Structure 1
Amino acid sequence: MGVENSDDEEDDSSEDEKENEAEIQRLEEQLSINAFDYNCHVDLIKLLKQEGELVRLRKARQKMSELFPLTEEIWLDWLKDEIRLTEEEPNREKVYELFEKAIKDYICPDIWLEYAQYSIGGMGSPGGIDKVRSIFERAVTAVGLHMTKGQTVWEAYREFENAILSTAQLERIHTLFRRQLAVPLMDMEATYAEYEEWSEQGVSEGVIHQYRKALKQLEKCKPYEESLMAAEPPKLAEYQSYLDFELKEGDPARVQITFERTMAENCLVPDMWAKYNTYLDRQLKVRDMVLSTHERAVRNCPWTMGLWKSYLLALERHGADHHTVSDVFEKALNAGFIQATDYVEIWQAYLDYLRRRVDFKSSKELEELRGAFARSLDYMKQDVEERFGESGDPSCLIMQIWARIEALHCKNIQKARELWDSIMTKGNAKFANMWLEYYNLERSYGDPVHCRKALHRAVQCTSDYPEHVCEVLLTFERVEGSLEDWDLAVQKTETRLNRVNEQRAKVGSTYQHCTGQHGSPRGGQKVSEKDPEGNSGWREEETPKRQNDDKPELRNDNCSVFISNLTYTLEEPEAKLRTLFEICGPIKQIRPVFSNKGGFKGYGYVQFESSVSVPEALKLDRREVEGRPMFVSPCVDKNKNPDFKVFKYNTSLEKQKIFISGLPFSCTKEQLEELCKSHGNIKEVRLVTYRSGKPKGLAYVDFGDEAHASQAVLKMDGMEVEGNKISVAISNPPRRNVMDKPGSSRPGADLMPRQVFGSRGRGRTQLSLLPRSLHRQSEPAGKVENGTAAAQNPATTSTAGETKPLSNSDFAKMLLKK
């Protein structure tokens, strides 16, 4: 019987080994595809340790350490395994090298203690005691100020000195006690009592004074230490308060150890790394410490451009060689930034560095700078535009800087002009500030002929501030020009300004006519949602004008919601809407909107007995109705509140939210939540869909705090979900485009006509069965013939200048004229 049980156990063990080996091979294959999968590295290391595959385990740990800083737990496991493997080997240097790598990732008292204790085992070798003492000194320097764990390092140091006690060593132990008692540490009273008992000569007044001073400091720090002990990880707010206190106290050593403790538990918070780096750059300025911290920052948060930028500056500031700076820059380009403008800024930082090292007498360094400028422009055009759909540098700042360098330092004004010609061809010729920047360049380094040429072109092309460039041209001719030049400038400016005023009048009258005659598509509703890769969506809804309502006195917008995006084929929409919304509260009336032919137009209104029901109804926003997401928004009369807008989603950087692209269309909200919940507390999961309800393969996950979101980016980016490789980044929504809206603050907004979409909506074929003559009034101002149509057509304007509707006879007269 015992033999049979033994055989069964062996079979089970063999099956487990086969399953584990298959899983190990799968993980190794996945890492060969995506080496930056953090969770995959961790799982592989756990399995290899479980199976006892020590050689493969060592390689797996080495690969992970090359890509990521390792946690204290992973380092301690690795170090203990290596110590066991090298017990029989006379060479201990490999383990010492591993310890040196471990202490660079984070400042951890436990790793320093393990390092010191391991070194004690080699004290019998030549110079062994001095080596142990050196490691202990480095340990108390690095973590001796750690309020809660520093004491163990001090005690281990004293025990070591006691173990090799001799007459000469007594003074060393006295010194260690005195040094420790001068540092505010938890339970330091016990250390003082131990010193009193150990010292045969008693405690000197100097030591007592230092001890009492440390006790006072301990009392100040205790509230912060107690709040840390009571808080749940990552304790960011508690550490922030502690840091503010230490910065106010002003002790650099204590500030540094507090920063290190903070980073050990908040290694994925870029803002905290930036704060730490700034402190080191401005206060301590110790080269090795500064550069080491900058390197750790970018290894922990490689997606944060600001950390790479400050790293490049720190390298230059501390005299790093050119090869090192260039290597760091290349790593930055491959770090995977979350927005196009990040690449512009990192290129600018590197180009600034290259410019500062050129003496403009050495052709080698100058050619390297020019080559870098050319490469940056290619990189923006190819790599950045391909990924983000934009270059991130619409004003061509990099080219502007290059042109100024060529003109100022290289005296090559012709090259500068070529660059500015290229800038203007990229859509910048309509902006006055661009022309004036070019004019100032010519004024400083060029000649009056080219200045005049630039201003004449500016007058013809500028559409935002034409009056300003006209004034600059006239001022220039007053100072520089002849009578003929002055006459020509006056003629051109007058012609241009007259044309601009005509266009503005046409745009204003056309807009008034359009708003007076035509409603918005689908009853005035406007719904826009943008979801490019890496950006979140926004939606604005304008409540349609409610015409032909038989009972206007029954309306109450405060108790109503506006429903849209319903399918046109919805049967009995009133009954359907009543079923959906009766759970929100008593309904007073439902008003679905129908066309003249009786067809449902896909939107309507639900009015409740009480305004208390409205918030409950708004919770049904995006509820799926017959395969389409139903939009629910507050009901606001746009005639009374023209500035009212509803923005469903944020349009600024959301550090606590991640954007996921590349999801399979079959992925559900529940599946995604299950995938993400291991990285932190989830507040909301939103799958992005088309208006029809079909998925886009995009999603947003809102975490409880920034640290969890950063961790999710680090561990999920590149992961495979149902065969699809997903991309994960911090959510950075696009700025809302307000260029074409009336009342926009953008310069020249009053000159540019508002785009009016046809009755079939935006982005669709604008077919219409109306005669062309009826559309003349809504054409762009530049295409209206024979003057200002709205001003000259008596059928469309009243004597008071107000737009009034056209009658049937008016339409007939217009057709007969054709």
Structure 2
Amino acid sequence: MTLGSEEYWLSEVNKAPELVENAVAVMPTPSIWSKYVEFKVNESKDALLALFKQGLEETQWHIDKSQTFWLKYMEFLKLQFSELVHDAYIQRLSVPHVQLDQTFSAFSDFVQERNLNYEESLGSASHIADKTRKMVALREKWEYEVKSSGGSLKVDRLRQYLEWELGNKDAFNFARGLFERILALNPADERLWHRYIWHIWVDKVPFSKIKIPADTKAARELIDRAVFCLPNSQSLYATKLRLQPSMEGAIQLFAECEDSGIVGDELLFQFLFSVKQLYRENGISIEDLKGVFEKHIDSLPKLVFTSTLVLDIDQNFAQDMLMKQLKQFRNDSLFWQHFASVNFRKSVAVYKSVKRSDKIYIEFMETKVILDTFTHGTPQEIEKAYSLMIPLQPTKKRQLDISEEPAVKRSSKSQRDREHASIVVQGDISVDELHDLLKNLKVVSVTGNKTRIIELGTKSEKMLALSRLNFAKKFSLNAYDAENTTLWVNNYPPYWHDSNLKTKFSEFGTVLDLRIPSHEKRERRRFCYVQYSTAQEAATAVEALDGQNGLEVRFSDPSQRRSRTDALEEGREVLVRGLPFSMSGDNIEVFVKKYSNPSSIRVPPGRRGQSNDGFAFLDFDTAADAANAAEALSDKFVSGRKLSAVVASRQKASKPKQSTVNTLSVRNYGTSKAELLELLGEFGTFDVQDDNGGLKVTYTKIQDAGRALLGLDGRELNGQKLAVRNLAERGMKPRTIG
């Protein structure tokens, strides 16, 4: 029996009825609310009416069991407030619940008993019920599957149901009810609590419009419930800190966490971040803010991150914090990157001084010193700096350090290094004028309007370009290094598209560019690149979002991409196929560990409401372990399905022709053409033609077609599963639109 679950509270209330007040605060299910009003039966009728209305508000989206509490409410009304019964029936008919037909039948009997105008009353009620019935009908299959399941399988079904609901438009409250139903069974699911809080706090209200305390009241009530069920969760307490309406409250809560021994880096960072937000929103003095930071500044292992927290408030204070950590982190490249983003000239001067005394060598700062020379040096110094740039560039052949692993051969083609060879330019200048200024340099791409991103061929060319642009007398330009401004984002929710991503990341700074290769390449894994205008904005986003609700947010670094494929390249990765679609990631882990000991397990999220897509990847420490695991897992049976397991290898996928990607064939939509067109429009601009019982849909943008294919194929529309295919797969000639 799990602490905080519905079963736990019902058991506790049976032993001690007075605990029902705690129970209804932590787990407000229909059953517990019924116990609560029974406990309050001696209250005045007006007080009971208010309690019933509160209970109805909190339980009505339990569309499977809310009827039990509503029937108790109707018994009360008939005895104490008979004049309210008619309106209560009408209101109930507008709320989706699986017993809707019984409610309508009971209302019909009520109308006859009261001798009301039968045709008028039933006609109006029937119209309301018909709209509600359509919403219930869309969910009947899910409710049946949940009702037919038990134990952990029931929780898995509810999770699949929730993912389907989160992908629906205007389904905020339906999803809220499912969050409650899952947590009533498994309140120890930390990740689900985070998703639920995010759903209540952000999805309902645009992030930029959230104000403390008004719009966060429901989220604060929810986080109180979460920390009761998981009292040692550092991440939940971090969220609770973010929701505090005052600095005094944040300080008190953080002190309580310290006393309880649950403080860690994540909680400390969130505490400082929260204090900064309260400074912005509630008018806390800068002296109070500095006092809090200075008290806790030495507790973080990498204080350079806190410099980013206060940089946009007080640059001198951020610089002071970095100087305090200079002795500890002078050999850390990341430290110098932050220092350069706070005060470039100061970081160069300090680096030169430290280099002379401590004999350190930081490649990142070496390039900054050269850049500073180009900007401020004499002609002789500039000439010398240019000669120093050559050793900083990677050569075709170099001696391998004895401590270094041989690099994995990725491709015979040279790799672009967009993140390290790009600059940002602000100012009034045309693309042609830019090319004139940068002649004799390799310009790979120029994007943007007033603020442009220019990708050069090499780091050397990047530094030369910065020098030319900043010293162009004809133009008033601000050009700076774009290094550490681009983030790699992985595993974002499947229902997030371009606008969701841009809105989300814009909360932390100005987003200059958003690239979604997973859409363009029609890949199932969801990843994208987000480029900010400054490195400190990017760092703030990493600290705030990495790890939140499963998100991976990191600085993009092409040189690190090799490590993501090491297991595959070295034969240490096993691909397991044939897994039951309903099998959760935890259950998959338990099963495979019976036969092997993988170092990591990756289960790609399923589509169409499934827990997984039927396969998983297992990484092992050695190729021999991988081979043994593949042999051990092959031909095993799980839930009647036979598994296959092989050591994975890289297979070069055939690249689809660009001219065929933007046109789709859509079939099996029945009589719901108007609704289908509305769905298609969510993915982008398109043109449409009838196509022998189906539709031929041509999107203006290739990536929009890719997203539509992934998002709509197999999706239910009024009881039918859509069939969406790339037109090339049907052997038909695509067309283009201008």
Q: Name the TM-score, length of structure 1 as normaliser.
A: 0.43
By relative contact order (CA 8 Å, sep 6+), the higher-ranking structure is: 1
Mark the structure with the bigger radius of gyration: 1
Q: Name the TM-score, length of structure 2 as normaliser.
A: 0.48
